[in-house]
Amino acid sequence: MTGHLGRARIAALLASSCVLAAAPALAADRHISVPAQPLAAALTAWARQARVQIFFPTESIRGLRSPALEGTMADRVALDRLIAGSGLKVTSDDGRTVVLAREAPQTRTATQDPIITGDQGPGMGGDIVVTGIRASLQSSRETKRRSDAIVDVVTAEDIGQLPDNSATEALARLPGVQIFRNRGEGQAITVRGIAQVVTTVNGSEAYTGASRRTLLNSYPAGLIGSIKVYKALTPDLIEGGIGGAIDVQLRQPFDFKPGLTVAGTLRGSYDDQAKKPFYNGDLLVSGRWQTGIGEIGAMIDASYVRRDYLESYRESLQVQTTTATQSVAPAGLGAGLIYPTGILIKRPKGDYERPVITGELQWRPSANLAFKLRATNITDINHYSDNDLQTNIAAGTVLRNVVLVPGTKIVKSATFTAPVNSGPRSNYTRQLLDTTQIEFGADWTSGIATLATNAVYTLSRQNTDQQLFLLAFNKAPVINAAFQSDTDWGGLSYTYANVDLTNPDTFHVRAYSDERTRQKGKGLQWRTDLTLDTGEGFFRSIKVGVRYADRTATYRDGTSLADLNSLALPLSAFPGGGDPQIIQAGFGGDDAVVPANWVQYRSTLLGDPAALTTLNRYVLSLKGQGALFSDNDRPAYDPLKAFDGKEKSYAAYGEFKYGLPLGGIDIDGVIGARVVNTVLSIDGTQVTSSRAPATGSAYVVTNTAIHGRQNYLDVDPSASLVAHFTPRLQLRLAYTKTFSRPDFSQLNPSLNLTQSLAATGTLTANATTGNPDLKPIRSTNWDASLEYYYGRAGSFSVALFERDIDGFIVNTIAQETLPDALALVNVTRPINAGKGTFRGVEAAASTFFDFAPGVLRNFGASATYTYIHPKQELPATPASLAFTGDATGISRNSVNASLFYDDGPFRAQVAYSVRDEFTLAYTLANRANDLKWYPISRLDASATYRFTPNVQLTIDGTNLLARPQRAYWSTKDVTDRVYFEGRVVSAALRFKF
């Protein structure tokens, strides 16, 4: 008897499940014939031919396939070839019963080249223990090769040793994945140009606050065993991602050898921009024992991550043009000269702390029954202290000493007098993200059937508090500016001619704001799956399942903004203002001349609750500010910025795995469909502000509850085919349909209606709102992947893909009749209207130089290349112009390359990545203000020495080139910003017992 669980979603819960195949005695040599098929079915077939019973953990090999096996050989040799690279090992073999288990993650055991099978003969043997980079590459390769879905994998080299320091950074190494870095780390992720990706942890849906996705950068490397990126989904995978799915696999007790395992990391790091050390660590304690009630595993895995950063950039803001009447010297340059609307230098500074803990119990009372209980808590505390100095340039400003970029009408440099309505800004943000996930599951095997069930409860909150303190010049500053300087990296360089930026008397307080946002998401998800392993015929296995998800999302936001410009109060008048902060110099290694220091309200006071209360009470006492901070000295929540959403989804799927020989080629694949019914309700507030009969009279404001409801059905078929031309060469083809639900914030029905009836009888009525009737974005997907595998860790693949997407969300204006409206209202709301076609090519290769002599065989290399054509078509609406072009934030070309060395005790790796230019934002009303990014490149390196089998030291460096990111407005002759990140070096001591 045997069973096969298939489902990444239950990976953590059901890794303990076991299967069984029956019969009597183990033979020495016999003819073995096992076609390429799902690995669970192949193990069943082997057991029948070897006439033994076999037990193995089904979830560990979900989606893996075996190579074809044909020839006369020993039963054990055949078994070793089947499980090579699968993560399984033989833990017991008495000649009648064979027990397989997941091997400890620090080793991989392969009897011989896992790609070569029957032609090697029975005499080849001898276990080879593979560790480090080689083991990581081999495990990732075998998971990809044997998977039913189109997937790429990052596997940890050892406990706590993902190739990078967070989930997000590790994913950037994979083909088709692009990330955008900000505040010292990778953040926004796209897969094949698409941001709508479902995120899961151990196969269960994960999200943060009221959003649809979790923040993957919150998951530290120390807790992760592997990360899978599914690019073409099978019916058993959770819906919700037109870009695919990203599954983070955490460690589990049954991953480790019997007995007690203790492992940990102590890391110290230094950022050369922040000029500050910071420290991280993680500790894993796991036990696995045989007891009178069966096998029991228990694990606690805890991590603490801290990162201090200081970034800096200098920027020329969006462009404007001179008019025919504007004063420009020297004369004769004509109208239409291009110059910025303002200049800015900014110092984003901050830190984040991420204490994370996960605990898990696994119990296997018998070989065919297993249970699991997991609890994970992720806390992500961010402090942002952003200080910047902005100087506006008003339309019509007198420009003197103008020099143009040769051959253009772009102002290269000029002298001008700026208005007094700008100056230093201090922006302090504290953000708390706290997510708890509790999971319980069980699986049971009997005969050819495996039944698995699990339930997950998630509670997530996201609290954000932000204060902004603005100063303004007391007298108009004179500025000598080179907007397009001749410095190493170009862009802005300037000085103030007549003001002392470090003197508080240079400025007065212009404005102050306090904002708080509260998000909360909670939900229960439950699923049950039944798998039938039907043998070696056309139908290899049949799998059906159901899933129920019930989640709520709440959002509240309140802002109090005090315009204090007319009061002209000095900084010293405010609590704490008598001891201002002097902003220190940044831009390490930059040769541009910009202000090095300026005075600012001390941002640490904005982050202190007691000091904040004192400040708010003082502002409240000022003239004209009596309506602010009306909720216990904090801003009251705005009903327009609030919603309560409830969503239930009911999903059922069915799929079968098939296999057949066709023209001498083994063919297998998966055919099935997933049906999902979504029931949504979302509540908000309609705010009506009416003024009548005369312009200038007071508005009358009324609030009315407003509700949105939806109920829709999606049927998503899928079909895949894998042609095994040889044990090394295979071709995958896949057709799938997927969908992504709109974010809750887009569904928010809250509506702001403003109408004014003048004495003349003229009515003005406008409204803005979300759209609770938004439908999912839907995609039809085509994939092809040719894959060649060789050696112990070698692979080469080329993939083609196309995503035909319908339902992109755009804003429109339509005249509508609304309750309480005096006439037709111009309503701005989002609708489904846009289309897109995302096509591309991915290529990936990795190998160790096993063919080379001597020490050279310890070297290896890997590389990926991705080309994406992310075409998006947005129709013209009353609120926006038509647009056809590349989707924002996506580079058409990206490359990753690594060179590594691994001889066992010592291993090292150098990794280089580059992505070409991309458009970050379009300004359809004025395409001269399209914001585009230059190519971004990055060099990272690490080296590890193992002193003993249990202790090793790693030295690594990230962003070693320290090249700034750069952007420009439409043309490269108009630089937007030059953005410097820190270079970080780290030392980590790792131990394992």
Task: Please tell me the least confidently modeled range out of 63-72, 343-352, 480-489.
Answer: 63-72
DSSP bridge partners of 204: 201
The pLDDT of residue 504 is above 90: yes
Residue 319's nearest CA partner among 411, 420, 406 is 411
Query: What pLDDT is attached to residue 338?
Result: 95
What distance, in Å, lies between the first and last C-alpha atoms of the chain? Answer: 37
pLDDT tens-digit profile of 800-845? 999 999 988 877 777 777 766 667 788 888 888 888 899 999 999 9
Could you tell me the pLDDT band of residue 690, with boundaries at 50, 70 and 90?
Answer: low
pLDDT tens-digit profile of 519-531? 999 999 999 999 9
Could you tell me the pLDDT band of residue 145, with boundaries at 50, 70 and 90?
Answer: confident
pLDDT tens-digit profile of 913-935? 999 999 888 887 788 888 999 99
Secondary-structure class of domain 260-992 per CATH: mainly beta
Tell me whether strands 97-102 and 53-55 are parallel, antiparallel or unpaired. Answer: parallel
Please give the average per-residue pLDDT across 950-968, as a whole number: 93
Residue 382's nearest CA partner among 315, 434, 423 is 434
Query: What pLDDT is attached to residue 103?
Result: 67
Phi, psi at 619, each rounded to 5° = -60, -40
The pLDDT of residue 95 is above 90: no
Q: Reduced to 3 states, what is the DSSP secondary structure of residue 633? A: coil
Query: What pLDDT is attached to residue 541?
Result: 92
The pLDDT of residue 512 is above 80: yes
Secondary-structure class of domain 8-146 per CATH: alpha beta
Q: How far is CA 99 from the centre of its chain?
A: 38
Correct CATH for 151-259 of 2.170.130.10, 2.40.50.840, 3.40.640.10, 3.30.360.10: 2.170.130.10
The pLDDT of residue 257 is above 80: yes
> How is residue 776 written in tokens?
């999912």
pLDDT tens-digit profile of 369-411? 999 999 999 999 999 988 999 999 999 999 999 999 999 999 9
The pLDDT of residue 84 is above 50: yes
Residue 862's nearest CA partner among 795, 919, 803 is 795
Percent over 90 (pLDDT), the chain? 55
Could you tell me the pLDDT band of residue 574, with boundaries at 50, 70 and 90?
Answer: very high
C-alpha Rg value of the chain to the nearest Å? 31
User: What is 250-317 written as a DSSP string?
Assistant: E--GGGS-SEEEEEEEEEEEEETTTTEEEEEEEEEEEEEEEETTEEEEEEEEEEEEEEEEE-EEEEE-
Could you tell me the pLDDT band of residue 950, with boundaries at 50, 70 and 90?
Answer: very high
Per DSSP, helices labelled H in 398-510 are: none
Query: What pLDDT is attached to residue 159?
Result: 55
Q: Which DSSP symbol is given to 57?
A: B
Q: Reduced to 3 states, what is the DSSP secondary structure of residue 345? A: strand
The pLDDT of residue 486 is above 60: yes
Q: Reduced to 3 states, what is the DSSP secondary structure of residue 157? A: coil
Would you say 616 and 632 are in contact if contact means Cβ atoms under 8 Å apart?
A: no
Query: What pLDDT is attached to residue 653?
Result: 98
Per DSSP, helices labelled H in 623-731 are: none
> How is residue 940 written in tokens?
């990272």
The residue ranges of every structural domain in the chain are 8-146, 151-259, 260-992
Q: Which DSSP symbol is given to 922?
A: -
Measured CA to CA, the distance from residue 738 to residue 741 in angstroms comes to 10
Please give the average per-residue pLDDT across 588-606, as a whole number: 88
Please give the average per-residue pLDDT across 765-780, as a whole number: 88
The pLDDT of residue 169 is above 90: no
Measured CA to CA, the distance from residue 231 to residue 254 in angstroms comes to 28
Query: What pLDDT is attached to residue 112?
Result: 36
Task: Please tell me the least confidently modeled range out of 538-552, 687-701, 917-931.
Answer: 687-701
Please give the average per-residue pLDDT across 944-959, as a whole number: 93
Q: How far is CA 373 from the centre of its chain?
A: 26
For residue 949, the tally of other CB atoms under 10 A from its CB is 11
Q: Reduced to 3 states, what is the DSSP secondary structure of residue 912? A: strand
Measured CA to CA, the distance from residue 108 to residue 135 in angstroms comes to 6
Could you tell me the pLDDT band of residue 683, with boundaries at 50, 70 and 90?
Answer: very high
Mean pLDDT of the chain: 86
Could you tell me the pLDDT band of residue 283, with boundaries at 50, 70 and 90?
Answer: very high
DSSP bridge partners of 693: none
Query: What pLDDT is attached to residue 375?
Result: 97
